[in-house]
Amino acid sequence: MYLFANATIYIGLAIAVYSLLIITLGISTKNQKFVNSGKSGMIALFVCAGMAMIVMFYLLATSQFQYEYVTDYTSSELPIIYKLTALWAGNAGSLLLWTFFLTLYMVMITFSRKMKGNPMVPYISAILMANAVFFFFILGFVAKPFNLLATVPTEGKGLNPMLQNPGMIIHPVTLYLGYVGLAVPFAFAMAALIMKNVDDFWIKMTRRWTIVAWLFLSLGNIFGGQWAYVELGWGGYWAWDAVENASFMPWLTATAFLHSVMIQERKNMLKIWNISLIIVSYALTLFGTFLVRSGVLTSVHAFANSNLGLYFLIFMGVAVILALYVLMSRYNLLKRSAGEFNSIVSKESSFLVNNLLLVGAAFATFWGTVFPLVSEAVRGTKVTVGMPFFNKVEAPILLSMMFVMAVCPLLAWQKSTVKNLRKNFLIPAILAVIGMALMVVLGIQKAWAVIGYGVIILLLVTHFLEFYRGVKARRKMTKEAPLVALYRLMVRNRRRYGGYIVHLGIAFITMGIIGSQNYDVETMKTVSLGQSIELRDYRINYDRLDQKKEGINDIVYADVTVFRKGKKLGTFQPEKVFYGNWEQPSSEVAIISSVKEDLYIVLSAWEDNGKATFVVKVNPMMDWLWFGSFMIVIGALFAVWNGKYGNVTPRYTGVRKEVS
Amino acid sequence: MKMKFYLGLLVIAFIFQGSFIRAEAKQIDYKSAEFKAVAQQFACTCGCGQDHYECDPNTCNLTTEFKKDLVGMMNKGWDKDKIRQYYVNIYGEEILTSPEKSGFSLTAWVLPFVVLGLAAIAVFIIIRKWVKKKGTDVVMTDYESTEDEVEGEILTSMIDEERKKYL
């Protein structure tokens, strides 16, 4: 097994190097046979990575403690699902997962129906293959997943209990799919540049793949947020942790790209900017990995410190320099076809402002994340840049972003006249102002909340109008029933309406964030049996404290009965788990959700006389956040779904067709 | 005699001083907004990566003592800025969860907005340049408003659909 496992890695490395060379040779000598050989190598590589994954799953599932990785991250009594998920609990395993996804994407692109006979394929393959070489090299020589131990321990060290949560199953997988996914648009961009062809085909394909990567990245962050919310000690659903920032930055720049590429599509402008955004997004995924794996910053996502980060930094450096070189060498070609704008106030301009703010937010995140290092380098003081900093700096930028998002749909392409502006914005603006006034009267008086919700009302109204006008225009011509018209309108322009659904999702998320950040209350009280804690509309009766055993873990739990405004909501059990093979206990919180707010109960401590200390929080509008997340997923899926209409990928119309 | 009386008073005062102060001291909820404002400023150094408000006293000994000290200072009537200054004087800026707004650390706060501002000016100049290049005598061929645009799109998609039926 040991031989086979390592063979998958080293043979994989050999195949990757071979394929990279043979494809490059094939391209330069215009020999289709070489390229085909490289493509076959790609399948072989996928098989290697797949085999390595299967072997690793097998070793973990059967607790083969002679393997260092299995010992480090599992123990024999661990439930099977967490034994399997331990594959991505450590450095080597998570990079194996990454490699596997990379080869998966590679095969999907190279052998997809759409790409058949496309001369870009060899270039794209070569670029992705270069990535694969790097990852197989890392697996083969730096973070080896299949290391044997000198002595076989009888028991493993176990998986950190905080990672024993359903979040562990899905959060890393989606996040890695997003991370790796951003390598695909990068490869497309580079291939297009090398071939001197940045046409419609390039835009369609790159955009599509960027949405796929973006969707996974969003999902990864959402699942991560959800997990951190229920797990005590991670600072809530978003803590601006270095690693969270590392995935937020490429998300922002990819979002910027998805918007600015529309200008390229319509006006044939911003080509250099768009390609730069792709390069930056890709580089940020590697930079994020460098941050996480090098241990230069403290983070809740603590991977074992190693020199792994350095390799990523070097790889990123090389990739960025090469990419910039290619971009510069094609600078004149890209610049030649630059178009013009008709007016300062237009949808085009608003897209530029959108890009400015998104990239600005990414920069602010970047600056805050690396500032401890900068400060240490400049004056030797390693300051902490935490939540208060990011909340203060990002809030105005992201709120302005929401405002642009609210305004943009109603601005006309080309030029918005004053008449046009008045016609489009009068009603939404009045409604937003009325809404804000109502909020102040009803007692919502915090400035951020009032402004934020005001902007969101504007956003909701403008988006509603956008749907309404579309349906009206369609009905005028087709005389369809309103719902039919809405359905057909949307499926015939999936990207636009999918995008709007995503916007609405973001609006809901923002409402959730504003509500939960500004109007949360929390208390910590020690009560005797039979006593109760009151917080806002809630009364929590402390009924019982008991202990039970689950496997090798001891669980202390409290029975609490919760009443809201005198009405019984039920009995709940916040608990504290003491692990047989882990030093620190962890808290299982009780969460009672409603549309209005979440009641969050933590059993914090207890005494021998039965007194117990509880932390009780009321987090308003949390469900809005999750609902918005759901809408983002629906919107993104709707946009990329291969519909019948208007989503035909144009055939490649490039200049050369030598090998494909 | 008088002397003894005063001495006695002093002894009594000494014995009860603890309870006098305790009576004065307010019970502070570790999860209250007022405690949050103070404790959130300080990073816990136990390696949990959290601030002293979030850090769980059950799993971190460091924060238990720290929280007690904070409560002590709050009971003395110190406000959050004074407490902050006290700790910065002892431990330096490292103890804070966000950089100071002075000295070199000010750049952390200011730079994002400076960059954003400069970029905004650049974007404005670029757009104006592009608009100027276009000139004024151009006939607008595209849609005048959103509604026309939507109608245009619908028409195109319908034509497309019809075309597909026959071709």
The 3-class secondary structure across A303-329, one letter per residue, is CCCCCHHHHHHHHHHHHHHHHHHHHHH
**A473, B150: Cβ pair inside 8 Å?**
yes
Residues in chain B with pLDDT < 50?
18-24, 137-144
Q: Map residue A142 onto helix, strand or coil.
A: helix
* A458, A406 contact by CB (below 8 A): yes
The domain ranges of chain B are 2-98, 106-166
Count of Cβ atoms closer than 10 Å to residue A87 Cβ: 25
- Taking CA atoms, A316 is separated from A133, A319, A322, A580, in Å, by 14, 5, 10, 42
Identify the structural domains of chain A with CATH numbers, from first to last: 1-159 (1.20.120), 160-402 (no CATH), 493-650 (no CATH)
Which residue is associated with the tokens 């300080």? B42
* Bridge partners for A567 per DSSP: A564
- Taking CA atoms, A471 is separated from A460, A479, A484, A641, B121, in Å, by 17, 10, 9, 21, 38
Residues with Cβ within 8 Å of A521's Cβ and at least 6 positions away in sequence, in order, are A535, A536, A617, A618, B33
A44's enclosing H/E stretch is helix A32-61
**B112, A397: Cβ pair inside 8 Å?**
yes
- Chain A interface, mutation test: which of B88, B130, B159, most A Cβ atoms within 10 Å? B130
Nearest to B154 among A356, A477, A585 (CB): A477
Alpha-carbon gap, residue A254 to A521, rounded angstroms: 35
- Chain B interface, mutation test: which of A160, A341, A350, A647, most B Cβ atoms within 10 Å? A341
Residues in chain A with pLDDT < 70?
295, 298-305, 336-339, 416, 643-658, 660
**B98, A493: Cβ pair inside 8 Å?**
no
* Bridge partners for A612 per DSSP: A527, A606
Residue-wise pLDDT for A368-425, tens only, equals: 999 998 998 998 888 889 889 999 999 999 999 999 999 988 887 777 677 777 888 8
Instruction: Give me the DSSP letters along B10-22.
Output: HHHHHHHHHHHHH
Nearest to A393 among B112, B142, B146 (CB): B112
- Chain B interface, mutation test: which of A272, A340, A408, A468, most B Cβ atoms within 10 Å? A340
Q: Give A269's contacts in chain B (Cβ within 8 Å).
A: 130
CA A270 to chain B, closest CA, distance in angstroms equals: 11
Measured over the CA atoms of residue A156, residue A161, residue A165 and residue A171, the dihedral's sign is negative
Predicted complex ipTM: 0.86
Burial class (CB in 10 A: 0-12, 13-18, 19+), B47: exposed
Residues with Cβ within 8 Å of B60's Cβ and at least 6 positions away in sequence, in order, are B44, B46, B48
Instruction: Give me the DSSP letters along A192-237.
Output: HHHTT---HHHHHHHHHHHHHHHHHHHHHHHHHHHHHHHBTTS-SS
Q: Give B105's contacts in chain A (Cβ within 8 Å).
A: 375, 383
Q: Give B49's contacts in chain A (Cβ within 8 Å).
A: 241, 298-300
Q: Give A267's contacts in chain B (Cβ within 8 Å).
A: none
Query: Which residue in A274, A452, A463, A451 sits closest to A355, CA to CA?
Result: A274
Helices and strands, counts by H and E, chain A? 20, 10
At A602, list the tokens. Answer: 């933590």
CA B4 to chain A, closest CA, distance in angstroms equals: 45
Nearest to A397 among B36, B116, B158 (CB): B116
| Residue B12 confidence (pLDDT) | 61
**A469, B155: Cβ pair inside 8 Å?**
no
Q: Give A383's contacts in chain B (Cβ within 8 Å).
A: 93-94, 96, 99, 105, 108
- Chain B interface, mutation test: which of A270, A384, A475, A577, most B Cβ atoms within 10 Å? A384
| Residue B163 confidence (pLDDT) | 67
**A617, B31: Cβ pair inside 8 Å?**
yes
Nearest to A386 among B51, B92, B154 (CB): B51
Residue of chain B minimizing CA distance to A343: B131
CA A210 to chain B, closest CA, distance in angstroms equals: 24
Query: Which residue in A89, A94, A98 sits closest to A156, CA to CA?
Result: A89
The 3-class secondary structure across A450-472, one letter per residue, is HHHHHHHHHHHHHHHHHHHHHHH
Residue-wise pLDDT for A445-490, tens only, equals: 898 999 999 999 999 999 999 999 889 988 888 888 889 999 988 9
**B147, A473: Cβ pair inside 8 Å?**
yes
Alpha-carbon gap, residue A646 to B151, rounded angstroms: 15
**A379, B104: Cβ pair inside 8 Å?**
yes
